[in-house]
């Protein structure tokens, strides 16, 4: 697009503004050219979109102000801000002698829209034109280099900053640390950090973020501990980084320290803490955070915070409270709906999940690929086969969303759960994309549940040929053979795991009591109340035997005696967590347990009886879904 083209567009239309456009000079001391400049800049600043810029730009060209550097700067800055960086680039190409400020404006624009390589290219063009960079353009191009992991280019910019005596500038120092940190050059980032005479909280926060981005938790904690006065941003960076690195307990402990330090959290802090609560199942702390939000009105129940609360309550086992939060929200977006649908699905409320989906459509909110994963999961957990296929077909037909591996996997899981195994296998054979080991593993699990060993072995061979199996899939394969008494084949699978250095993920269950998370592994002896826990376990085992409970020893993978299998089952982590809940909480108190793996058949049967005998409601979250045990029944209807 040339200037002549620009001059034609909308020449006689101007955006409404209160600024006078009179050409009369009210101040004789100012030249007409200066007045014109002020007039155009004022008009440009009132623009809300690119269409409003066009007629003003046309007038600028007609009146001969198209090379005025002040007006050009405002044009470039505004076009970039309004996400019209291509228009800004066209303007720039027509500038006769661009200065450093005009280069900076366009480079900023490229960085703003994520066109980092264009920003770096333009910087090199500026250097080739022998234009001396200033601190603003160096800061901008360093951000582009960091975002693109352009180590060589960033180092060259650093050298230029050193030559120009700008490397000690605060803004440049911060960007240099950020750049080296993103590129994994921690020694260089540390050198820049150590050269600062005063390690203020902002510099320390950047260093902490860099270390946590690369999983260096211990080093980040060391930097954090040396900060004398920590602000909200610094605390939040530390908590967020710990959550991202899977250090949930440490993140919650850090939040408690933040409270002791009388530093008020912002909404980002709150969302990070709620995320940690979600993953640990720390419902009581999550409730406290919710009440904190209610007391401090500066933290609104917006999409960001509201969505985090819905996710927390859903994943901590209180789906009713999640629904109340959802109902309270004045505005909802597609992410909020996705979280609510997913939460209802996890808790076996399939019909309610589908109704929320239909309500979203009525509100005019378009579903995304993630929405359909959530609603198809709901159909799968509820055995809603016809509705599931209807939703699957609606994706591409009504919303133009092509099915991805996750959506195909949901259909295979749906068919497998209801026992339509051959149909599920044929569905896989006719898919437009190749199946992954997760999908094949879901079908293999269904074959085990429904006792179809023949198809199970066929799927198992496909899995073995597929490669890149995870520990869970290997264990499932071994489990299928073991449950059929094929110990040789089961042993071969375990040998392959050993050869490949693949370790079985250990079962781990946690329970929250008095705002403290207690974790248990298989046969755990670390807990301070282990004596009371195992005594309670023995009592329950005796009562369960009298009630006619027969351990499902076929789920134990090893070729050992039945009494040994019964012992192995009895010390599963979720049973230890439940026993601790029984001895440490008052009668009739609900027990909530979070497990990292799927609950085995025997534990599922046993927990139903424990709930009935003790008169307790027990909620267990496993890798797949939630199980609400009450009066000898489970909310999943033994369908998980």
**Shared domain check, 518 and 449:** no
Spell out the residues 6+ positions from residue 466 whose beta carbon is closer than 8 angstroms to its own. 435, 436, 437, 440
| Residue 640 pLDDT | 67
> What angle (nearest 5°) sits at the alpha carbon of residue 554, between those of residues 543 and 580?
40
Spell out the residues 6+ positions from residue 566 whose beta carbon is closer than 8 angstroms to its own. 551, 553
The reply to whether 115 falls in a domain is no
**Shared domain check, 527 and 492:** no
Angle at which helices 267-280 and 232-244 pack, to 10 degrees?
A: 30
**Shared domain check, 610 and 543:** yes
| Residue 53 pLDDT | 79
Domain C-terminal end among 456, 475, 505: 505
The reply to whether 136 falls in a domain is no
Domain C-terminal end among 459, 489, 505: 505
The reply to whether 18 falls in a domain is no
Judge whether 330 and 365 are in contact, CB under 8 Å.
no
Q: How far apart are CA 535 and CA 115, in angstroms?
A: 64
**Shared domain check, 515 and 624:** yes
The reply to whether 182 falls in a domain is no
The reply to whether 282 falls in a domain is no
CB atoms within 10 A of CB 171: 14
Judge whether 137 and 123 are in contact, CB under 8 Å.
yes
Write out the two tokens for 521: 């592994």
The reply to whether 424 falls in a domain is yes
CATH number at residue 446: 1.25.40.10
Q: Judge whether residue 570 has pLDDT over 70.
A: no
Q: How far is CA 165 from CA 136, 197, 198, in A?
A: 14, 16, 19
Q: How far apart are CA 70 and CA 40, in angstroms?
A: 10
**Shared domain check, 590 and 473:** no
**Shared domain check, 606 and 519:** yes
| Residue spans of alpha helices (H) in 419-561 | 421-429, 437-449, 453-466, 471-483, 487-499, 530-546
Spell out the residues 6+ positions from residue 283 whose beta carbon is closer than 8 angstroms to its own. 277, 313, 316, 317, 318, 512, 592
Q: Judge whether residue 477 has pLDDT over 80.
A: no
| Residue 199 pLDDT | 66
**Shared domain check, 522 and 474:** no
| Residue 9 pLDDT | 32
pLDDT in tens, 40-83: 787 878 777 777 777 888 888 888 887 888 888 888 888 877 76
Q: How far apart are CA 388 and CA 373, in angstroms?
A: 11
pLDDT in tens, 509-532: 999 998 889 999 988 889 999 999
Write out the two tokens for 162: 């050193």
**Shared domain check, 521 and 484:** no
Confidence of residue 12 (pLDDT cuts 50, 70, 90): very low
Q: What is the rounded average pLDDT of the residues 311-339? A: 95
Q: Judge whether residue 15 has pLDDT over 80.
A: no
Q: How far is CA 452 from CA 80, 413, 443, 447, 475, in A?
A: 62, 15, 11, 5, 18
Q: Judge whether residue 467 has pLDDT over 70.
A: no
The reply to whether 17 falls in a domain is no
Which residue range is the domain that position 478 belongs to? 404-505
| Residue 43 pLDDT | 80
Among 118-132, 228-242, 488-502, 524-538, the least confident range = 488-502
**Shared domain check, 576 and 466:** no
Write out the two tokens for 640: 């998980």
Q: How far apart are CA 251 and CA 244, in angstroms?
A: 10
**Shared domain check, 541 and 517:** yes
Better-predicted residue by pLDDT, 514 or 155: 155
Domain C-terminal end among 505, 522, 557: 505
Q: How far apart are CA 292 and CA 591, in angstroms?
A: 24
Domain count along the chain = 2
């Amino acid at each position: 697009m040339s200037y002549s083209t620009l001059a034609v567009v909308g020449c006689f239309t101007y955006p409404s503004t209160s600024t006078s456009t009179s050409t009369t000079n009210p101040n004789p001391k100012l030249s007409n050219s200066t007045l014109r400049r002020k007039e155009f800049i004022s008009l440009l600043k009132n623009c809300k979109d690119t269409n409003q810029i066009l007629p003003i730009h046309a007038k600028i060209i007609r009146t001969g102000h198209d090379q005025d550097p002040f007006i050009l700067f405002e044009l470039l800055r505004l076009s970039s801000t309004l996400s019209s960086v291509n228009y800004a680039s066209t303007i720039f190409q027509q500038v006769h002698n661009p200065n450093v400020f005009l280069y900076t404006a366009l480079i900023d624009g490229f960085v703003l829209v994520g066109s980092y390589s264009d920003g770096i290219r333009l910087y090199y063009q500026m250097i080739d034109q022998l234009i001396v960079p200033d601190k603003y353009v160096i800061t901008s191009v360093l951000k582009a280099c960091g975002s693109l992991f352009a180590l060589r280019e960033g180092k060259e910019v650093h050298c230029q900053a050193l030559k120009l005596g700008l490397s000690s500038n605060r803004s440049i120092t911060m960007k240099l640390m950020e750049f080296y940190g993103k590129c994994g050059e921690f020694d260089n980032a540390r050198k820049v950090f150590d050269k600062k005479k005063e390690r203020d909280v902002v510099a320390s926060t950047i260093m902490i973020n860099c270390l946590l981005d690369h999983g260096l938790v211990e080093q980040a904690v060391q930097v954090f501990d040396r900060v004398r006065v920590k602000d909200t941003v610094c605390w939040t960076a530390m908590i967020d980084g710990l959550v991202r690195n899977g250090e949930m307990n440490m993140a919650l402990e850090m939040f408690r320290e933040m409270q002791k330090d009388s530093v008020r959290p912002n909404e980002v802090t709150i969302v990070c803490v709620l995320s940690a609560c979600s993953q640990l199942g720390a419902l009581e702390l999550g409730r406290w955070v919710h009440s904190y939000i209610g007391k401090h009105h500066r933290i609104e129940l917006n999409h960001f915070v509201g969505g985090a609360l819905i996710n927390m309550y859903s994943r901590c086992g209180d789906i009713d409270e999640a629904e109340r939060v959802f109902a309270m929200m004045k505005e909802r977006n597609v992410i909020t709906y996705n979280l609510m649908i997913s939460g209802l699905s996890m808790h076996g409320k399939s019909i309610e999940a589908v109704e929320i989906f239909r309500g979203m459509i009525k509100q005019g909110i378009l579903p995304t690929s993630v929405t359909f994963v959530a609603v198809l999961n709901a159909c799968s957990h509820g055995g809603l086969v016809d509705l599931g296929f209807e939703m699957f077909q609606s994706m591409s037909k009504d919303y133009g969303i092509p099915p991805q591996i996750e959506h195909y996997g949901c259909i295979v899981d749906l068919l497998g759960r209801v026992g339509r195994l051959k149909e599920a296998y044929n569905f896989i054979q006719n898919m437009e994309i190749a199946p992954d080991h997760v999908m094949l593993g879901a079908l293999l699990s269904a074959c085990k549940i429904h006792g179809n060993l023949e198809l199970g072995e066929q799927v198992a061979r496909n899995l073995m040929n597929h490669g890149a199996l995870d520990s869970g899939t290997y264990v499932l394969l071994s489990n299928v053979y073991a449950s059929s008494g094929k110990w040789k084949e089961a042993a071969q699978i375990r040998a392959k795991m050993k050869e490949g250095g693949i370790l079985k993920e250990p079962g781990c269950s946690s329970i929250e009591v008095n705002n403290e998370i207690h974790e248990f592994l298989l046969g755990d002896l670390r807990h301070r109340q282990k004596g009371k826990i195992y005594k309670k376990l023995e009592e329950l085992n005796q009562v369960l035997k009298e009630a006619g409970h027969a351990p499902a020893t076929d789920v134990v993978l090893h070729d050992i005696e039945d009494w040994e299998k019964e012992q192995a089952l009895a010390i599963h982590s979720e049973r230890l967590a439940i026993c601790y809940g029984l001895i440490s909480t008052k009668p009739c108190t609900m027990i909530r347990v979070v497990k990292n793996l799927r609950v085995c058949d025997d534990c599922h049967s046993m927990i139903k009886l424990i709930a009935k005998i003790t008169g307790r409601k027990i909620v267990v979250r496993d890798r797949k879904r939630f199980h609400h045990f009450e009066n000898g029944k489970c909310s999943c209807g033994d369908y998980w």
